[in-house]
Structure 1
Amino acid sequence: MSASEIRERYTSYFAKNGHTLLPSSDIVPKSDSTLLFTNAGMVPFKQFFLNPSAAPYKMVTTVQKCVRAGGKHNDLDQVGYTPRHHTFFEMLGNFSFGAYGKREIIHMAWRFITEELRMPVKMLRVTVLETDDEAYDIWKTEIGLDPKRIVRMGPEDNFWSMGNGEGPCGPSSEIFWDTQDPRYSEKDDERWLEFWNLVFMQYHRSAGGELKLLETPCIDTGMGLERVASILQHKKNNFDTDEFQTIIKSIDQIQPAASSSLSPETALTYKRIIADHLRASTFLISEGVYPSNTGRGYVLRRIIRRAVRAGRLLGIKGGVLSELYPSLETAMGKAYPEIVERRGPIISVIKSEERAFLKTLDKGMALLDGIFANESNDKVISGHDAFALYDTHGFPVDLTQIIARDHGWTVDLDAFDQIQRDSRERNRASWKGGSAKKDVVASEIESACLEWQDLSVQSRFCGYDIDPESSGMPIAAKVVASKELSNSDSLVVIDPCPFYATGGGQQADMGVIAVTRDDASDIKADITHAFTVKNAVALPNGQATLLHLAVVAGGQHALLDAGQQVTATVDMDRRYGNAVHHTATHLLNAALRKVLGNTVMQAGSLVQPSGLRFDFTSNPLTSDQAEKVESLVNQAALANTNVNVHQMTLEEAKAQGAIAMFTEKYSADSVRVVEVPGVSMELCGGTHLRSTRPVYPFQIISEGSIGAGTRRIEAVAGTSASEWLREQLGYAQAAAQTLEAKKLSSLDSKAQQLVAKNKELREEIDKWLQTAAVNVEAIATHATTLGKTSVPTTIHILAPQMETADNRRGSSGSGNMRLVSERACYLRDTQPRSAHVVIQGNAVALGVDTKCISGARAGVLLRELFVMLPGKGGGQDTLAQGKLQSARSPQSSTPVVLWLNGGPGCSSFSGLLGGVGPCRINDNGHGTLPNAHSWNSNAHVLFLDQPTNVGFSYGATVNSTVEAAADVAQFLRLFFDQFPQYSRNPLHVTGESYAAHYVPGIAAQIVKDNRNPTIRHKLPLKSIAVGNGLYDMATQFMYLPQMACNSTYKSLADEKTCRAMEQAKVEFEKSLQVYNLTPSPEAMVNATYAGYDILTPYQDAGGNPYDVRTKCEGGSLCNPYMERIAEYANQPWIRADLGVRIDSDFVLCSTDVQDSFINTGDELVDSSEWIPMILAAGVRVLNYAGDADLICNHMGNKAMMLEIQWPGNRGFAAAADHTWLVDGRALGEVRSFEGLSFLRVYGAGHMVALDQPVAALAMLAQWLDHSAIII
């Protein structure tokens, strides 16, 4: 039983027994400051055990995420070395706050383990408190357990309390499993594995230790998921269970062959450490814990660094956890979707920490190796060495302990602790008037900021007075406060201060602080000490800037004292670079608003000397829009307009149209406004240019999505842009030289020629591989021997011969007869004990030594071979030749087409019996007729009801495309495992309507899985095709009024209906703006319903949203034929033939599934953003639309396709629409460019295959034939 199934069975069982299923609480306790992490299932409910009447639910069940690493409850050192210890684990629990007591939980627990989990009674025993006769009697009398299996224990084992103080407490009963370890007898504790603890909280312990019965007894139970999984999966070690093994097997994939000298047992220990630590670090980061040198962050740092070191010992040179993340998603992503949704930030944090440690790991190990090489000492790492490893090389002391243990050494922890305390005391002594509690530089800076703010330390920022285009002059200043850091750097506040502190997206100034003699007449002269300014940080109240200083290389260490005179010089190159890109950011914001509209909102920015990053709310930019934005910025730059700065009240700034950051807080009394007249006006505290000219040239480097509705532009300006352009020119010139293009202008054509040739060769290889696969499979099945005398036969498949100048004449890619004949003769002469069949393409030769194999004749054997593989040929006794009739057999080359209907929530029965499949419902609804235009005439078609609970399917609820896609990809792999004869056939994923979400999502999942080395079965996906699909509601629904009221068909909507639809469209736009500003789940759902409200006036007037030519006739999709499908599916004999459950009615479209998708905001997600990834993987994409459909009309579909951001965007936009002809008849219009095609089908509504079956079948045939739709 898998871990996933155990979770489901446990929670379902207790839910059926009246418990409320609650999600796991956070690993970081929100209401318990005494704990670093949630380490037990009962932690979130402590307050209700203290006051049961306050519990919102009387019976609760959970699967709680727990961490035991650091603090009192610390299993970190044991992980990997024992079978049961983990840093992260899951605790299955059920709790009662007065609803039931000891008797009920014992009965429920026993039924669960013996009936639900089917654990044999003979393998179980229980313990009770030695004085708890009640529990003993329940187990013995009511459960019927043999008294030999009930063991009385003392309070140290079977009495639970909240710590050692007063509060609820009580006896417990633990359930054990017999591991049958042969090393121990039944009397030995080590033989028994405790897996479930039932705590009967029936007493209250007073401060004096007196026990009194509680008025409201409670129940607290905890069952370790990993332990139960090991029992049910018959594993002696938790790490051998399914979820851990998914990760451990992935480690085998990334571990270099023969890269480690470790014994197999030791290597396995390190793999287990890595698997455990991947789980722990992922879930900690997902809840906002980040690596640091204090508290929870330090625990996380220790976990990640231990894993890095384990990976290094296994021979893995780089980061190990980040590489293994996909395996964790596979193992636990369905149970915990947050690790999939937050994969980007989590992997980023892990990679950053791994990189940081890898930089010092080798040096630290070299230090340790030197220590271990000294055999003269007593094999103890001194406290000084351990502290050096910690302080200089980032080795947590427990990691040093592990390494020492592996070498038979120990660490002098007492000395280490003393040295660490001394270091902290030195830091405290250097801080005037305060105390630093943390020994990390970042924490010291944070502490200094807070302390100096409390002391009202102030300084005036004078950096605005410096011309960013000047060389900069030293400014005289006085030290206001100072502090030495533990790394010998220092912190100071000076007044006045010219250094800009990090803020508003702009990076801080850097520069130099110099100390001069008091009597120096020139502040540039007589410098006695110099410090580099590494960073500038504003105090939280903004009243001063704290500078982080380091002594200039070669300089003398000194601490600046309050009152000391210094000179401050800003690094003007850095200041200028920041100013260029900050002014460019304002121009970019203005250009975006001009091109995309004023609904564009800034969502964040980064300004640095080398470039800028700008985040904003918007749909994807088209190539034309990006070019226009870039052009507008360059025009504003070349205009050389002055950049003006004003101080005014917030109200005045708003009245003048100044733009403010949505998330920033501003003073109402005075704000700083930066204005480029006629172009931009923003509230901003950053440093800027005096005029716009230095921004030129401005170049957008990239534009893409960073989240739902949020885009990011990265760009460079000024000299940075010039350098970037020179670099790109260098790349282009190198490519031109490689491709032998004499001019850069011919580079594109040369590249296209190369791509075309590459495509041709790939197709040739594909054909050969399919032929080879079929031949090998067929021959291996039937032809290990040939002839009546069972001649041993060996098959040899040769790679296809590529065309060259030498072989262009007289040969072809289908095979070279001379080559296969020569090879057959060679094999016949050198290996005479077997007949040899040599195949290249469709060329076949068979050689046999008739002297060695009596009675064998090559010609006869070849004819027998052609019985199994159709072909023609003949020959002599020792050599025969021939050709296969077809390079592809029908079985291997006939495509497999997966068909999905939409909804969300509609069954694919409507496709099976609605124009796509081999049958259709007859007029009386109780039988079927052949479909003359079935897609099965060109493909094996697989109709799938998904997500779960659609049609006859059932299972755990799925309410998002991402979840559904993962399920379908897994189903396909299982299907092809079950039916391997189809596993190599080209796969095409198709559907209609909401399948425009499913199909791209599934394709993207397949592309991702095919790249995952841990997934064995790669799916041969070749294309996707969707009819009248809903990809991007925000774009497509804007065309609903136009299609209803102004299409090429006569409109059935009156003027009132059309006005109402236009007004609803305006409301939809407003709801989208609200969502883009505050992307909450509620705003997303509201926007979804607002989109559908555009259709409401049309439907209220009787219009058919699936065909603008007709009124709605009732029934599903306004089509009575669809109701006949539902009636047919509900007939008992149909259910029996399909083998589906009899206890539920078939519903063509489930409103429950649709509502669940809407409530998660899935319908508003833009699934077209998967298409660039799909195209980049070589998978072709077809979007077709019946031009009479309203809800997913061809206008909106085409507009959506024009907005897809992929390298062929411009080519697709520039491509012409051509008439689509089938047998001389115009059936539609088609536009194609490279792998992307759009087909408008004339005279079809929402369901093209049902309305225009001839056109649908012709489209399929042309598309599957690897050609674009014929024009």
Structure 2
Amino acid sequence: MSTADYKTMTTAEIREDFLRFFEEKGCKLYPSSSLVPDDPSLLLTNAGMNQFKEYYQGKKTMPEIGACSCQKCLRTNDIDNIGDATHLSFFEMLGNFSFGGYSKADAIAWAYEFITAPEHLGLPAERLYMTVFEDDDEAIELWHEQGVPYDHISRLGEKDNFWAAGPTGPCGPCSEIYFDQGEEFGCGGPNCGPGCDDCDRFLEFWNLVFTQYDRQEDGSLPELPHRNIDTGMGLERIAAIMQHKSTNYDGDLLQGLIGVGGRLSGKTYGEDAARDRSLRIVADHARAVTFMISDGILPSNEGRGYVLRRLLRRAVYHGRLMGIEGAFLCAYVEKICELMGETYPAVVENRALVEGIVRAEEERFGATLDAGEQSLASELEGLGEGATLSGEVAFKLHDTYGFPIDLTREICEGRGVTVDMDAFDACMTEQRERARASANRDAWGTFNDVWTALSDRLAATEFVGYDKNEAAARVLAIVADGEEVERAERGAEVEVVLDVTPFYAEMGGQVGDTGTISCDGATLRVRDTKVRGGLYAHAATVEEGALAVGAEVTAAIDAGRRELIRRNHTATHLLDAALKKVLGEHVSQAGSLVAPDRLRFDFTHFEALTADELARVEGMVNAEIFAGEPIVTRVMGIEEAKASGAVALFGEKYGDVVRVVSTGESEEPFSRELCGGTHARNTADLGLFKIVSEGSVGSNARRIEAVTSMGAIEYVDERLLTLDEVARELKCRPDAVAERVASLEQELRETRKALEAVTTGAGAGKVADAFKGAVELDGYKVVIARLDGLTGKDMRSAWDGIRDAAGGEPVACVIASATPDGKVALLAGGTDGAVAKGFSAGSIIKDIAALVGGRGGGKPAMAQAGGSDASGIDAALDAARAALGI
């Protein structure tokens, strides 16, 4: 079968053609959503339908007949397989979707048209095969109506061709489209066909899911209110097909990245299987890492950050295997910006940040690899050739140091040692099972809970707290212990949903409001406010009476507390702007806490701030406060906001309409950010800004804690009080404390120097006396003496004095000392000449250490020991004399 019987298209051409095709059919084009999903039950965006989950659930409606997108996705559940012909961690998923807008027949007809029409993919119809769910006669006939022969349509079971959100909920049959790569890729088996596990002849590249049922607890499958369409076509897979290649890694985009590895390593792709795998892994992982960081994910030891760090370190390791020395991943970042920056401009916008984090992580992992190698070397010391390294030890190296098992095996093989891979695999399996239990990787995540049900039924809460501290509202729902209830009595801990609220719910770092909910029959103390499924949940205690669903209430926030929060929130904006001006544009907010008493601001930066930098940042913020600039808030479209220069938070997702908060009315204010939080009315409201601390919160992030307003006054008062107390203790004025401390430090240094002189001086005298009593042995002199009052460090100085006194002649010593606290130190030393004549410091110390209640040893030229029994010193020295024949 010829590979030239259809045209060639680039990845970019396929992406553009697919999206334009479905737009012309009436589908709305949606940009790719972030790799950080809105759904908290998902770790990472792993399917094109993630951003449309609420449409499937009926929470949102779409005026268009459907949607289409090219979604960036990331999956790592098969990380050990990445680098083979098919598996990728990062990939792009082309998809078209319908939520009751167009039919199953339309989806099939359009798919067939796009695949076969000469103006689109133009694939030969005879090389296309379809699979359908075994009971889906409708799909078979719909494909046949398009001209697909019955012998090109196969029925497969539920495992292959039926999709479900979970044990219950939305589900439906699938239909997969396969491309026949030719007999040369086949296994030759009599049953070889689409879905064959023994060969790669039939390559699946597009899956159409017809979500039409709502599976019940009893297993029944009633129809959903409307049928949905969810399709997914891997862009890398179809690009390989359209470029007449056989694997995902042979397409133009990934080959461009593989070429970077070839250039850096000096190796040629296609000459060595193991090296080719490393080239593929680094290309894949570098792309994943670039997009993850660009979407706001930072390296850490848990969650998404752990996935990022693992991919990055795996890329670095495989770079080493290829012989690439030093940091190299930034070369990949540059190429990714070149190849994909036009489609995904965020990678270009965040390039400086991506490169900074990648470079820092590479350097850190280099040190980690070195530490792992040292630990492994220590483990191998006691193992001879033919021994086996424990699988548990190999796993510890992998889990603790990030030390790859391949490298462990390679080093072990060089020593003739094998690794217990069965035990290692068992540890890995146990770890994977723990990971599966803690992270739901299904594209739908959690489908049914009380808040999902409430958000399906209730309209989103109307927030009026920008302008009001109090509002009339109606109780829409009460939740207690995860269950919806109609009434809550005195003492109950509940979460209350209102139709209208002045309470700000915790988000964007700003803490939730507190206050009261009251009516004639009840008073509730609200201790926190959070968003759950689009609804504002007021966590409260019923203090008086009873509250029922439907009650008309007054919701009132703690206005004084909110005012302090407003000021601290505005301070974070000023701080962000100041940091960018002082440190550079790579600074991005990586987290925050805005509380009434303090603020915490995490930001991307790669080293500690100097005292001068902190002073400049603090000075800039206070200058804006003293300028008394009004805080201006405007609501506008997201594109208009970005065009105005408004700063979007790193990794944050925004809707089509946003609030833009600026300091002042000028065209270029000190700060302008997209923000949905509450703010001060004027910068002067903040009063004063003081940085309390600055430190590291991760490998590439710093944290500043600060206070404003009343918190700043309390902080300054506390510091002044401490200064006064110190001044009293030092018996000086507060303004003379620094001078007094410097004077005391000088006195301390002089005292220590005098003490050292007393110790070493007396010791020096004792050494001179001891050397006078040196005994002449066969070719060298030996000094045996007790020199009390010396530490172990001082004993080495005493030995240096004995050598100096010998004037270059062969000499040895055995000396002992007892300090006032009862600790004993023994030292034996010998020059090269004394050792050549038979003196062995290690043997002597080993023999006599027990006499002072200790143990020790060393080499022939130097040995030391410590002990706790000073009464045995004389006996120990006598034993040394006897050993030397004195």
Q: Give TM-score, length-normalised by structure 2.
A: 0.48
Structure number with the higher strand fraction is 2
Relative contact order (alpha carbons < 8 A, sep ≥ 6): 1 or 2 greater? Answer: 2
- When normalised by structure 1's length, the TM-score is 0.34
